[in-house]
């Protein structure tokens, strides 16, 4: 088994007297497709916030690519290869799709040394993979919901990530749109990018993930293959309402 790209060891997080995470540990392997599920309030977003650096953890450690990043701020984690897309896209609405991605490159890829032409070419390559090349010069405010979700993934890709965290990228989309976003994530993973997918659409989780972890009340209640997790009684009770 290859060494973990991401190692979360005993991570805890408290908000006053409320414990949002209690001793969470998980290893994510290079190139893995990992699903993170759980009911609302289970701690999924808090865990991702701790991994990405949005929130400091109160206990435990986080290692990425062999380096302890537990106390690094979010922007330094991004520059080391952890990128995240958000459930609610917040693009620069006055900018085109191309300009939105160029901002991401300038922020996340320090000393990239790219000329304007080279940066444009890198962005167009990303947009082509995502299926938005034809929208490069369109204002982001003119995009549809599924196009906004794809652009959110494209902005994350502009940071040249080793690990992509997809936070409910399919929420609120129609069935065919879910398939579009899922196909994008599978394509990116096939190119070697490790993906953590947080999602409530179980069909998408089952199709995408090689391994799934289910949280409930800030604790891991099950981890295994999608089939093992879906068959677990604790998961059915906590997540599916069985």
Question: Please, are residues 143 and 135 in contact by the beta-carbon 8 Å criterion?
Answer: yes
pLDDT of 157 reads 87
In this prediction, residue 14 has a pLDDT band, given cuts at 50, 70 and 90, of very high
Residue 110 has pLDDT above 70, yes or no: no
User: Please, which pLDDT band fits residue 241 given cuts at 50, 70 and 90?
Assistant: low
Q: Are the beta carbons of 229 and 202 closer than 8 angstroms?
A: no
The pLDDT confidence band at residue 111, using thresholds 50, 70 and 90, is low
Residue 100 near residue 155, CB atoms below 8 Å: yes
- d(C-alpha 149, C-alpha 135), whole Å: 13
Q: Show the DSSP H helices in the chain as ranges.
A: 44-52, 74-80, 97-108, 116-130, 145-157, 175-190, 202-208, 226-231, 233-238
Least confident of 67-71, 83-87, 204-208: 83-87
d(CA 38, CA 47): 12
Tell whether the model's pLDDT for residue 175 goes beyond 70. Answer: yes
pLDDT average, residue stretch 114-118:
78
Range name among 45-54, 131-140, 195-204, 232-241 with the lowest pLDDT average: 232-241
51-to-20, 64, 178, 230 alpha-carbon distances in Å: 14, 9, 25, 25
Q: 42 is written with which tokens?
A: 């289970």
pLDDT value of position 108: 66
**What single string gives the DSSP state of each residue in 172-223?**
T--HHHHHHHHHHHHHHHHTT-EEEEE-S-HHHHHHH-SEEEEEETTEEEEE
pLDDT-based confidence at residue 143 (cuts at 50, 70, 90): very high
What does the alpha-carbon distance between residue 52 and residue 76 come to, in Å, rounded to a whole number? 10
Whole-model pTM: value is: 0.90
Instruction: Report d(CA 130, CA 152) in Å as an integer.
Output: 10
How far is it, in rounded angstroms, from Cα 116 to Cα 3? 37
Mean pLDDT of 52-63: 96
User: 58 pLDDT exceeds 90?
Assistant: yes
Percent of the chain scoring above 90 in pLDDT: 65
Q: 27 Cβ partners below 8 Å, 6+ apart?
A: 4, 6, 7, 8
CATH number of 6-89+161-238: 3.40.50.300
pLDDT band with cut points at 50, 70 and 90 for residue 76: very high
On the CB side of 119, how many CA atoms lie within 13 Å of its CA? 20
Mean predicted confidence (pLDDT) in 33-59: 94
Distance from C-alpha of 152 to C-alpha of 91, rounded to nearest angstrom: 8
pLDDT at 1: 46
DSSP 1: -
Q: pLDDT tier at 155 (50, 70, 90 boundaries)? A: confident
For the cut 90, the answer to whether the pLDDT of residue 142 exceeds it is yes
- Judged on CB neighbours under 10 Å (0-12, 13-18, 19+), 66 is exposed
Q: What is the pLDDT of residue 49?
A: 95
């Amino acid at each position: 088994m290859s060494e973990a790209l991401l190692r979360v060891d005993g991570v805890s997080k408290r908000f006053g007297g409320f414990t949002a995470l209690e001793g969470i540990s998980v290893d994510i392997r290079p190139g893995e497709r990992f699903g993170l599920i759980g009911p609302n309030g289970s701690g999924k977003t808090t865990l991702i916030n701790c991994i990405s650096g949005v929130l400091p953890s109160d206990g435990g450690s986080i290692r990425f690519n062999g380096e302890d990043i537990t106390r690094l701020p979010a922007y330094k984690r991004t520059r080391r290869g952890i990128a995240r897309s958000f459930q609610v896209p917040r693009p620069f609405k006055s900018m085109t799709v191309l300009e939105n991605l160029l901002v991401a490159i300038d922020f996340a890829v320090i000393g990239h040394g790219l000329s304007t032409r080279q940066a444009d070419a890198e962005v167009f390559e990303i947009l082509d993979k995502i299926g938005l090349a034809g929208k490069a010069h369109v204002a982001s405010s003119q995009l549809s919901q599924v196009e906004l979700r794809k652009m959110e993934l494209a902005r994350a890709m502009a940071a040249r990530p080793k690990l992509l965290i997809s936070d409910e990228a399919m929420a609120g989309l129609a069935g065919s749109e879910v398939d579009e976003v899922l196909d994008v994530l599978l394509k990116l993973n096939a190119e070697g990018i490790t993906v953590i997918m947080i999602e409530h659409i179980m069909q998408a989780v089952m199709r995408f993930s090689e391994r799934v972890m289910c949280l409930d009340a800030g604790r891991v209640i099950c981890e295994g293959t999608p089939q093992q997790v879906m068959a677990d009684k604790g998961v059915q009770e906590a997540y599916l309402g069985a």
